[in-house]
Amino acid sequence: MAIPSIVAILVTSLLLALLFWLIFKNIIKAGICSSLIIFSFLTYQYFRPVFSFFGLKNNSIVFDSTACVIWLVILTFFLFLVWKTKKLDVWNYLLNITSLILLTSFLISLISSSPSNNKVDPKKISSYYQNQIKATKPTTAEMPDIYYMILDGYGRNDILNSKFHYDNSQFTNFLKKQRFFVADKATSNYGQTALSLSSAMNLDYLDTLDGTKNTSHSLAGALVGNSALINHLEKLDYRTISFSTDYEFATVTDVDENKTPAYWSEFNQVMLNRSTISDIPFLKKYIFGWLSVGQRSKK
**Digit-coded pLDDT (tens) for 262-294:** 555 666 666 666 677 666 655 655 555 555 444
Q: How far apart are CA 253 and CA 243, in angstroms?
A: 9
pLDDT the model gives residue 293:
44
How many Cβ atoms from other residues are within 10 Å of residue 147's Cβ?
9
Phi first, then psi, for residue 14 (nearest 5°) are -65, -40
Is it the case that residue 140 has pLDDT exceeding 70? no
More confidently predicted of 48 and 214: 48
List pLDDT tens digits, range 220-274.
Answer: 777 888 888 888 888 888 899 888 776 777 778 888 888 776 555 666 666 666 6
Average pLDDT over every residue of 165-184: 92
* pLDDT of 297: 38
Residue range 58-69, pLDDT digits in tens: 555 666 677 777
- 2-14 pLDDT tens trace: 566 677 778 888 8
Longest dimension (CA), the chain: 82
| Higher-scoring residue by pLDDT: 49, 176 | 176
Give the number of other Cβ atoms within 10 Å of residue 191's Cβ: 7
Which segments of the chain are extended strands (E)? 241-243, 257-261, 295-298
The rounded mean pLDDT for the chain is 75
Helix axes 218-225, 122-132, angle to 10 degrees: 40
Q: Residue 39: which of 96, 84, 83, 87 has the closest Cα?
A: 96
